[in-house]
Amino acid sequence: MATIVNTTEEEPMLAVVRSTAQLAWADAGPEVADPEVARLCAEAQQHLLAARWLDMATLMLASADLLLLSPSAPDKDLECTLTVTCNLVTKAGSEDEALEIAKLICAKLTHQPADKTTLRIKVLFSLYNLLPSLSGKALVYRKALELAATAGKAAADCVVPTFKNIDAFVAYWGIGKPEQRELFLAVTRILKDHKGMTKDYFKFLNKYLATFDGSGDDADAIGAAKEEAAAAIVEFVKSSDLYQCDLLDMPAVAQLEKDDKYQPVYELLKIFLTQRLESYLAFQTANSTLLQGYGLVHEECITKMRLMSLLDLSGHCSGEIPYSAITKALEINDDEVEYWIVKAISSKILDCKVDQLNQLVIVSRHTVRVFGMPQWQSLRSKLGVWRFPLKILLQGNIANAINTIQANKVTEDGGQGMQGLMIR
């Protein structure tokens, strides 16, 4: 004979309140603990019945520190508890209420972040996926970055893979310049000491600095960007892969020119982007301590400055550079010219041919060191000149292509007809 047994499952939210309350009052003894646990469970029941989800979140998070800071608390129990709490945002009656719940959870997870940081970030990503509000998603993601910035490599590794989607995130969230600025700054703080990410670090420094347009709205905030502006300059000078940038056009960088502390760094950038080796050597003589303080190696700077000087020569010649001009600008011997030409070609900053008989370098393409608004305008003018003849050429090619397709179609139709009559 079958026996039917009634079973009930406690509501997960009530179970979380009960378990955390029992943990919180575990040392008080049953005489004190049991009434307190019962009181908290009754309070949770009232919030549940009245759909007071913000109050429920406050109650559930009240004892969360015990789990977050306890070395003996299993990660699975903590993750389960926090996941149930995060799920409250799906029950909220409005996006504003869900956002307030999310803020409570973020505040709890970012408090004393040294313990179980990776798990905290994992929970924040779960919260991100549950939130309906785009501004809420942006907030939670930024909190995850702030948390990762305070921890070690393991925590950073959790968020770094998401950086390739930052531009898509910004467009999706629809956030403004101030929020973008905070976001990019948080990314740079994570990448700064992350091994093998120097290119990405420089890229996000540029993104951050580009959010300052020099308008009155930036007047109060732009001063805080001086350190990052100097860091971007140093990263550019250090890099053996970067030979072009538009830092000089950025207001956040331009302000360094009149700053007592950072003016020499700005002068170094101008030398690398607009001058030649001779100017760098004079600067180094007067500022050797400064260069060492920023971790810049003199020999590496000379190597890069010689390549930069070669680009400057390419930009001022009429397509041909005499060997003598190269030896003078790069301060090298005659038998070293071809070595530096090969180095520039292998660095993909120069396309040219060498005329050894006449001792000429015939340049077909070179990287422009500064590519700002004047260069864009020049490119636009060139494209405008090419546009009309290119249009005529394309129209002719398209017409030919259509005729070819139509001729092939007739042939295919005829072939298909013959196949239908074949005897097999």
Cβ contacts of residue 122 below 8 Å, gap of 6+? 79, 158
For residue 57, CA distances in Å to 64, 108, 319, 375, 388 come to: 11, 11, 70, 55, 65
CB count within 10 Å of CB 410 equals: 9
Q: What residues are paired with 333 via a beta bridge?
A: none
Long-range contact list for 331-340, CB < 8 A, 24+ apart? 331/277, 331/278, 331/281, 331/306, 332/306, 337/361, 340/306, 340/307, 340/310
Three-state DSSP at 348 gives coil
Give the single-character DSSP code of 224. G
| pLDDT at res. 79 | 86
Cβ contacts of residue 40 below 8 Å, gap of 6+? 17, 18, 21, 59
| pLDDT at res. 409 | 52
| pLDDT at res. 5 | 38
d(CA 345, CA 1): 88
Tokens (6 digits) for 390: 């290119």
pTM of the model: 0.79
Three-state DSSP at 327 gives helix
| pLDDT at res. 346 | 96
Buried b (16+ CB within 10 A) or exposed e, 2-26: eeeeeeeeeeebbbbbbbbbbbbbe
Cβ contacts of residue 207 below 8 Å, gap of 6+? 166, 180, 184
Residues 52 and 13: beta-carbon distance below 8 Å: no
| pLDDT at res. 318 | 83
| pLDDT at res. 374 | 58
Give the CA angle between residues 322, 314, 308 to the nearest 5°: 110
| pLDDT at res. 378 | 54
pLDDT means per 10 residues, the chain with 424 residues, are 44 86 74 82 91 92 78 78 92 94 93 83 95 94 92 86 95 94 95 89 96 85 95 96 94 96 97 96 96 96 97 91 96 96 96 95 94 57 57 59 55 38 30
With 0-12 / 13-18 / 19 or more C-beta atoms within 10 angstroms meaning exposed / middle / buried, residue 321 is: buried
Cβ contacts of residue 214 below 8 Å, gap of 6+? 222, 251, 254
d(CA 158, CA 113): 15
